Amino acid sequence: MIKVQLDRQNFEYDVYTLLKAFYPEETVQVYEKLPEKKSEEDVLLTVIVLFAERKPDEGFAADETGESTALSVQLRNSDDAVAGEETAVCGPLTERREDRREVKKILKQMLYRLLSAYTGQKLPWGNLTGIRPTKIPMSLLEAGWKNVDIARYMRETYYTSNEKTALAIAIANRERHILKDIDYENGYSLYVGIPFCPSICLYCSFSSSPLHLWKDQVDAYLDALCKEIAYASGEFADKTLNTVYIGGGTPTTLEPYQLERLLTTLEESFDYSHLLEFTVEAGRPDSITREKLEVLRNHKISRISINPQTMNQKTLDFIGRKHTVEETKEAFALARSLGFDNINMDLIVGLPGEGKEEMEHTMREVLALDPDSITVHSLAVKRAARLRLFRDEHKEMTFTNNCEIMDMMASLAASGGHNPYYLYRQKNMAGNFENVGYAKEGKEGIYNILIMEEVQSILALGAGGSTKMVWEKDRIERIENVKDIRNYMERIDEMIERKRRGLHE
């Protein structure tokens, strides 16, 4: 356990996430004042973060207002001995966003230096704990900075490694090129959620449910979804639709006639004349049939995903994927034979029991199929996932991710003609690494970039959908649908009313 005393709770998330990056398996408890009573758990580390407003006559430098903030960070080990400490003077800690950003930057720098010295670790992404590292170089590129200056800034400000700094800058440049013709002001993208899966994978925490529990309710779900489509398409009729993404869950759990109904409804409701990309996440090979793929082809779906996650059968069996490696290959070959020329495949690094040898096998097997893009995910086991809920049952399994594996995956992807084009990070990610999308030239997933960079509004429909309205730079508002499938169906009028209020009030 790690105890934290923090007298400014608005920095709680930043301290908590940085500590979890160094100690992913430890419980972190934050207090405004440390409890006098000793914890029954073993305390590995105590962190004390204190702020104090100071005047110039107290021996502290101040800005033009004559005010400043003294900041102190101290680490104490399990013996309660001081293991490291730093003090600094920041600008005034006001309600202004700019002031708070500066104080947060200094706080994270101090805490990172102390933790790095104490643990002997250097994290690949330094003190960056957000999910979109490319936003930093992207904004600096737009401000006219050169790559070399951006690299120096990232290393000095966030302590990012040379490799991750170069990756973020390279991807930011490629994203700018890919998005150069996107209409940010009047354009938008559409997400449609199908929350059903053939079975639930052991590591999964998405808003999805096993199909067998809802087999008789799928048409009712589509009734509610089509009602939301009818409303939303009217609200966005004067906007330009750039990309569509049908995800889940596993959209191809729908029967062919249900896919036909959904795709026809979307076509009749939205204007596709400016559409740049239409993705359907076919996902699980065991949900793919010729009839379903033919429906997708008939509706001119331009991009699909066939996601093996791993090409090691032992791992597939353990994590609860009810398909074989051979079925993955067969599904891919079937899609190619029907004319799909933009197929993505998702892989996960850090699955139980998989190390470098297993990952190399998976990547070489996938490259032999010659997909158009490959997304490499670092395993992120969230609290809802069964690997967390039943940790004791799986404690003999290893969860491996390291620089060597990630570098190998990047090298192998490049050997197959794939270059990185987007990345994002998640909480509780194995090894504090990232998810990277690799693609051949012209086969990049545009929606993937848009959802990560938050430069265009995303209209999200279906259970668990989270609409993100980008009203202006740095002003994004979310309109959430309930995640529970039954609640969504029963409260569809409320979901529509939420959108109405969010869009107009």
Indicate whether 76 and 156 sit together in one domain: no
Residue 476 confidence (pLDDT) above 60: yes
Q: Is 481 helix (H, G, I), strand (E, B) or coil?
A: coil
Indicate whether 114 and 27 sit together in one domain: yes
Residue 215 confidence (pLDDT) above 50: yes
Indicate whether 172 and 194 sit together in one domain: no
Over residues 195-210, mean pLDDT = 64
Indicate whether 376 and 490 sit together in one domain: yes
Burial 250-278, CB ≥16 within 10 A → b, else e: bbbbbbbebbbbbbebbeebbeeeebbbb
Q: Which domain holds residue 14?
A: 2-119
pLDDT of residue 375: 95
> Alpha-carbon distance 319 to 45, whole Å?
34
| N residues, the chain | 505
Over residues 60-89, mean pLDDT = 80
> Alpha-carbon distance 6 to 194, whole Å?
42
Indicate whether 15 and 113 sit together in one domain: yes
Indicate whether 441 and 490 sit together in one domain: yes
Q: What are the tens digits of pLDDT across the range 248-281?
A: 889 999 999 999 999 999 999 999 999 999 999 9
DSSP 41-53: S---EEEEEEEEE
pLDDT of residue 487: 96
Indicate whether 305 and 369 sit together in one domain: yes
Query: 125 lies in a domain?
Result: no
> Alpha-carbon distance 248 to 461, whole Å?
11
pLDDT of residue 353: 82
Whether omega before 84 lies within 30 degrees of 0, making that bond cis, reads no
Query: 16 lies in a domain?
Result: yes
**SS3 labels along 323-380:** CCHHHHHHHHHHHHHCCCCCEEEEEEECCCCCCHHHHHHHHHHHHHHCCCEEEEEECE
Indicate whether 100 and 209 sit together in one domain: no
Residue 240's DSSP bridge partners are: 187
Distances (CA, A) of 117 to 13, 75, 373: 22, 11, 39
Which residues neighbour 39 within 8 Å (Cβ) at sequence distance 6 or greater? 1, 3, 29
Q: Is 6 helix (H, G, I), strand (E, B) or coil?
A: strand
pLDDT band for position 92 (cuts 50, 70, 90): confident
State the CATH number of the domain containing residue 354.
Answer: 3.80.30.20
Residue 493 confidence (pLDDT) above 50: yes
Query: 504 lies in a domain?
Result: no
Number of domains in the chain: 3
pLDDT of residue 54: 58
Indicate whether 264 and 168 sit together in one domain: no
Query: 476 lies in a domain?
Result: yes
Q: What are the tens digits of pLDDT across the range 103-140?
A: 899 999 999 999 999 999 999 899 998 778 898 999 99
> Alpha-carbon distance 462 to 458, whole Å?
13
Query: 124 lies in a domain?
Result: no
Query: 310 lies in a domain?
Result: yes
Query: 142 lies in a domain?
Result: yes
Range of weakest confidence among 104-113, 207-216, 280-289, 370-379: 207-216
Indicate whether 446 and 379 sit together in one domain: yes
Distances (CA, A) of 151 to 130, 388, 425, 436: 18, 37, 19, 19
Indicate whether 385 and 317 sit together in one domain: yes
Q: What are the tens digits of pLDDT across the range 391-414?
A: 454 443 344 457 788 889 999 999
> Alpha-carbon distance 316 to 94, whole Å?
52
Sign for the pseudo-dihedral over CA of 138, 144, 148, 154 = negative
Looking from the CA of 261 toward its CB, the CA atoms found within 13 Å total 16
Query: Taking all residues of the chain, what is their mean pLDDT, rounded to a whole number?
Result: 88
pLDDT of residue 209: 63
Distances (CA, A) of 213 to 57, 224, 303, 375, 485: 70, 18, 29, 30, 11
Indicate whether 218 and 110 sit together in one domain: no
pLDDT band for position 216 (cuts 50, 70, 90): confident
pLDDT of residue 397: 39
pTM of the model: 0.86
Strand segments, DSSP code E, in 350-497 are: 373-378, 419-424, 435-439, 457-461, 466-472, 475-480
Write the Ramachandran bin of 283: left for phi over 0, alpha for psi from -120 to 50, otherwise beta. left
State the CATH number of the domain containing residue 96.
Answer: 3.40.50
Q: Of 32, 60, 51, 150, which is closest to residue 100 (Cα–Cα)?
A: 51
Q: Are 256 and 264 in contact (CB under 8 A)?
A: no
Over residues 81-93, mean pLDDT = 88
Query: 494 lies in a domain?
Result: yes
